[in-house]
C-alpha cells in the first residue's frame, strides 16, 4: 500500500459545441512517505491539470475519471464530499505563484492563524503559538508573524506560503513550480527547505516543474509528461544516464548545463493538439528515432525493469534503445 496512489487519471475539458480537450490521459503514479517525486514536463503537458484534478480543484467544465487512493481509500470516488476532508489536511498544495497570493492587507501571521482556525486545528492563543512554530519550521523568525507580505522578500513570501500549506500537518505536499520566479540563490534556499521537510518530518513531496535540473537536484524519482500522459517514469539517475524514451533524452539534451560539453539542442516541432484523437505515438512527429509503427500504433506505458517504465515502441525492438 502506498501513501498516495493515482491510477488512470483522465481529465477532459469541455470546449463547447461537442468538442473536448483530453488534457490528462491515463496518468498514474504513487508516492511513499518521505519520498520526493518530480512531475516534469513543458507547458501544456498536463502536469498542473493532473494535480488540480487529483485534488478536485478543476472548474466545472472539466470532467475527471480515475482513482486517487490515499492510504488505500479512493478519495475521488465521492467527489467533493470525499475529497474535502483530505484537502489541506492530508494533501496540501503550494500553488505556482503562491507567494504573490498572500493577502496584502493582513499580516502574514494572521493569515496562517486564519487557516488554522478554519480547519479547526487551533484557536486564539494556541493558533498564534502554532503559527510561530510553523514559521520557524520554514526558517522565518516567529516574530516576523506581525509583518505584512510586502515587508517580506520573494523568498520569505514563498516560505510563508509553504508554512501555510503545512498548517494542518499534511503527509503530502504538492509544490507547483515552487522556485520558478526566484533567483538561483533563493531557489537553493527553498530547495534545501523542501529537502529537509521531507527528511526531517517524513513529508512526501510531489514537485511539479518544467525544470529538469531542479528535479535532478531534489527528487528521488520523476515522471516525465508529454501531451497529457506520462511517457517515462523512473529514478532520476536512470532517467539521465539511461533514458528509455527519446523525449526524456532530448529534453535533457535541450537543457543547458553549467559544465556540459557542446551546445544544447532544441527539439523541432511542437506537441500535438489534444482536442482531437491522437493516432500513433504523440511524440512521433518530433522524434529522432521514430519508425513506421510509431505513426499508427500508440505505445503504452510499460514496466521495463523494477521501478522503471516508458511508453516507447523502441523498447520492444532492441534492448539498447536510446
Partner 1 sequence: MNQNGNRPLIAVEDLVVRYPVARGLGGALARRPRRFVHAVEGVSFTVKRGELLALVGESGCGKTTTAQAVLRLVEPVSGRIEFDGGDITALQSRALRPLRRRMQLIYQDPYESLDPRLSVRAAVEEPLVIHRLGGSKADRRERVRDALARVELNPPELFLDRYPHELSGGQRQRVAIAASIVLGPDLLVADEPVSMLDVSVRAGILSLLDGLREAGLGILMITHDLSTAARFADRIAVMYLGRIVEEGPAQSVVRDPQHPYTKALLSVVPRRDPRERSKREILSGEAPDAVRIPSGCRFNPRCPIAIPDCKQIDPALEPAGDHLAACIRA
List residues near partner 1 by CB under 8 A: 42-43, 153-155, 183-189, 191-192, 210-214, 216-217, 236-237, 240-241, 250-252, 254-260, 263-268, 270
Distance CA 97, CA 180 (A): 8
Question: 271-282: b or e for each residue (b if 16 or more CB lie within 10 Å)?
Answer: bbebeeebebbb
How far apart are CB 241 and partner 1 at their closest, in Å? Answer: 8
Strands 309-310 and 229-235 turn out to be antiparallel
Q: Looking at beta carbons only, is 270 or 300 nearer to partner 1?
A: 270
Q: Looking at beta carbons only, is 169 or 255 nearer to partner 1?
A: 255
Distance CA 271, CA 261 (A): 27
316, three cell numbers: 520492444
How far apart are CB 212 and partner 1 at their closest, in Å? Answer: 6
How far apart are CB 167 and partner 1 at their closest, in Å? Answer: 25
Q: Looking at beta carbons only, is 62 or 191 nearer to partner 1?
A: 191
Q: Looking at beta carbons only, is 131 or 248 nearer to partner 1?
A: 248
How far apart are CB 71 and partner 1 at their closest, in Å? Answer: 29
Q: Looking at beta carbons only, is 28 or 139 nearer to partner 1?
A: 139
Q: Looking at beta carbons only, is 128 or 147 nearer to partner 1?
A: 147
Distance CA 166, CA 180 (A): 20
How far apart are CB 303 and partner 1 at their closest, in Å? Answer: 21
How far apart are CB 76 and partner 1 at their closest, in Å? Answer: 30
Question: Cβ-count burial of 75 within 10 angstroms (0-12 exposed, 13-18 middle, 19+ buried)?
Answer: buried
Distance CA 169, CA 134 (A): 10
67, three cell numbers: 482513482
How far apart are CB 58 and partner 1 at their closest, in Å? Answer: 23
Q: Edge-to-edge, what's the strand order for the sheet holding 91-94?
A: 91-94, 172-176, 204-209, 36-40, 221-226, 229-235, 309-310, 302-303
- Cα-based torsion angle of the residue sequence 123, 126, 127, 131 in order, rounded to the nearest 10 degrees: 180
Q: Looking at beta carbons only, is 179 or 309 nearer to partner 1?
A: 179
Amino acid at each position: 500500500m502506498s501513501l498516495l496512489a493515482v491510477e488512470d487519471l483522465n481529465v477532459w475539458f469541455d470546449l463547447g459545441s461537442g468538442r473536448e480537450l483530453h488534457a490528462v490521459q491515463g496518468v498514474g503514479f504513487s508516492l511513499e512517505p518521505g519520498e520526493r517525486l518530480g512531475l516534469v514536463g513543458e507547458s501544456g503537458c498536463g502536469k498542473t491539470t493532473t494535480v488540480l484534478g487529483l485534488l478536485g480543484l478543476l472548474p466545472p467544465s472539466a470532467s475527471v475519471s480515475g482513482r486517487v487512493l490515499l492510504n488505500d481509500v479512493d478519495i475521488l470516488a465521492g467527489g467533493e464530499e470525499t475529497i474535502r476532508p483530505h484537502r489541506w489536511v492530508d494533501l496540501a498544495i503550494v500553488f505556482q505563484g503562491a507567494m504573490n497570493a498572500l493577502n496584502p492587507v493582513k499580516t502574514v501571521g494572521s493569515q496562517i492563524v486564519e487557516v488554522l482556525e478554519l480547519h479547526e486545528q487551533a484557536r486564539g492563543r494556541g493558533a498564534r503559538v502554532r503559527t510561530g512554530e510553523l514559521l520557524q519550521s520554514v526558517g522565518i523568525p516567529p516574530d516576523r508573524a506581525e509583518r505584512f507580505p510586502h515587508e517580506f522578500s520573494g523568498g520569505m513570501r514563498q516560505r510563508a506560503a509553504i508554512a501555510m500549506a503545512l498548517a494542518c500537518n499534511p503527509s503530502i505536499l504538492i509544490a507547483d513550480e515552487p522556485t520558478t520566479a526566484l533567483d538561483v540563490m533563493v531557489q537553493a534556499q527553498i530547495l534545501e527547505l523542501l529537502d529537509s521537510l521531507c527528511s526531517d518530518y517524513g513529508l512526501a513531496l510531489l514537485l511539479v516543474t518544467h525544470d529538469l535540473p531542479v528535479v535532478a537536484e531534489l527528487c528521488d524519482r520523476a515522471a516525465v509528461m508529454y501531451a497529457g500522459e506520462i511517457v517515462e517514469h523512473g529514478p532520476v539517475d536512470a532517467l539521465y544516464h539511461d533514458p528509455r524514451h527519446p523525449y526524456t533524452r532530448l529534453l535533457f539534451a535541450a537543457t543547458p548545463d553549467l559544465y556540459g560539453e557542446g551546445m544544447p539542442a532544441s527539439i523541432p516541432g511542437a506537441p500535438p493538439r489534444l482536442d482531437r484523437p491522437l493516432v500513433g505515438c504523440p511524440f512521433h512527429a518530433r522524434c529522432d528515432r521514430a519508425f513506421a509503427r510509431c505513426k499508427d500504433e500508440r505505445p503504452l506505458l510499460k514496466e521495463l525493469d523494477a521501478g522503471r517504465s516508458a511508453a516507447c515502441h523502441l523498447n520492444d525492438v532492441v534492448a539498447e534503445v536510446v
